[in-house]
Structure 1
């Protein structure tokens, strides 16, 4: 049995869970709750960076981060399932990188509030992170990604990024991005695991 170290609210952990569902591998993985702020958590020996998600293989070796994990899972499922071959591969990896960048910036904004006292928070730095999100969303709104009957890694990553903005940023992105809202609705309808992995608060 593989072990996925993650937490329910992690957009990167959610990406791995959706990949598992799409690849039909969910029953081969145990999801183990993880506290990245706890020095005693075994995560820090499994992944020197102390980050989630981390996948523990049956022989005890580990894989991280989410991009490496989903590549491994696609390989485990026979290859070419959520990460296509040829030119399409790079289009999907590019979309995944853009979506992951949205998550990175959104997470940094959350951490600024959660871990830094109000008197030393840096408004300009927070605005810089928001600029990354705004530019990425504008590019995606102008040309929402088309996806085939089955979701691939780029679409999965984007759905998780938008879901994280809903969870931690009150869905403020929605008002200015109606085409992306419609895209996410269509994605959710095609992939029941998206709603099943949604954290309510």
Structure 2
């Protein structure tokens, strides 16, 4: 299989960590994608031109990261990073949805600054996205997941990637006000080697 992604992408990182947890790393080749390049095959592999996109052995493609994680979980036997029982399953999926939303809002802030000249950036839009991140992190700080006792589920992987992206693009400014999440992330990093292995510095 081929994973079209880019190292800074928190969603691509989520897939890469999940593959490692599931023991599927050797079955996936990571091929960098340039979402801004019209000639990149990504736009035929995924009409949305977004990463991550997983190209299967038969040429079919899967996207977005939530769908890819479901597929990888099934490929590894099922019920590992996406629990089977309704209670744990929807708790994991709910956490994943919250953390994916934090990542989406964070990326939109980055794009506003990257693609709009300073004079035409829309501060109310930036504030709106920042508010999503702040509320999401506050909710997680008030009720953080328990430290891992087994391999992580999809929601926990997403949370680690959301916090990692805050470190990457926002200089770790989330850390002073979220000590429980800092502690949780330290435990996650110690137990999931792929987290450090997928870290990028810029």
TM > 0.5 fold call: yes
Alpha-carbon offset, residue 117 of structure 1: 1.1
Show the counterpart of 1:137. Answer: 137
Alpha-carbon offset, residue 85 of structure 1: 1.1
Distance 2:150 2:191 in 1: 8
Alpha-carbon offset, residue 148 of structure 1: 3.4
Gap regions ≥5 residues in structure 1: none
Show the counterpart of 2:176. Answer: 175
Distance 2:8 2:127 in 1: 23
Deviation beyond 2 Å, 4+ runs, structure 1: none
SS of structure 1 residue aligned to 2:174: helix
Gap regions ≥5 residues in structure 2: none
1:34 aligns with 2:50: no
Number of corresponding residues: 200
Superposed counterparts of 1:1-201, under 5 Å: 2-86=1-85, 87-146=87-146, 147-201=148-202
1:88-127 CA-to-partner distances (Å, cap 9, x unmatched) read 0000000000000000000000000000111111101100
User: Given the two structures, how large is their TM-score scaled by the length of structure 1?
Assistant: 0.98
Greater Cα offset, 141-150 or 57-66: 141-150
1:18-70 CA-to-partner distances (Å, cap 9, x unmatched) read 00000000000000011000000000000000000000001101000000000
Distance 1:170 1:112 in 2: 17
User: Given the two structures, how large is their TM-score scaled by the length of structure 2?
Assistant: 0.98
